[in-house]
Amino acid sequence: MFYFDNGTPRTLARYLIGHHTVTEARARGWEELDNGELLSKAKAARFEVLVTTDKNLSYQQNLAGRKIAIVVLGQGRWSLIKRCVAQVVATMSAATPGSFAEVEFLTSNLLDA
């Protein structure tokens, strides 16, 4: 089960249909939670992967020993993400318990495309 925080574009979920279950922060009423509370709630709800755009998460939270995988998207703008959606979906699908991955988007290269 994938959990999308507020910054993760909901359109991305369309690319996971049939492969993964996606729940958004808004659907759970968790859109105002800070990172620590969010990780605790996601763990309690047995989410397997947290997808976020918060690049500071790994600096703000002690992520050692956790079971939820975290995928950080370097941008929250769908116009940038959609150009690399295959890479994003592959990274999310490859996440394993406790893993941490960042997907960066080189905006200058993408804007020229």
How far is residue 15's CA from residue 52's CA, in Å, rounded to a whole number? 16
Q: Give 97's contacts (C-beta < 8 A, 6+ positions apart).
A: 48, 67, 68, 69
Tokens of 5: 């925080």
- Mean pLDDT across the stretch 55-83? 84
Residue 109 is predicted with a pLDDT of 46
Question: What range does the domain containing 102 cover?
Answer: 2-112
- Mean pLDDT across the stretch 88-109? 85
Confidence of residue 62 (pLDDT cuts 50, 70, 90): low
Backbone CA torsion sign across 95, 99, 100, 101 = negative
pLDDT tens for residues 13-51? 999 888 889 999 889 999 888 888 888 898 899 999 999
**Number of domains observed in the structure of the chain:** 1
pTM of the model: 0.86
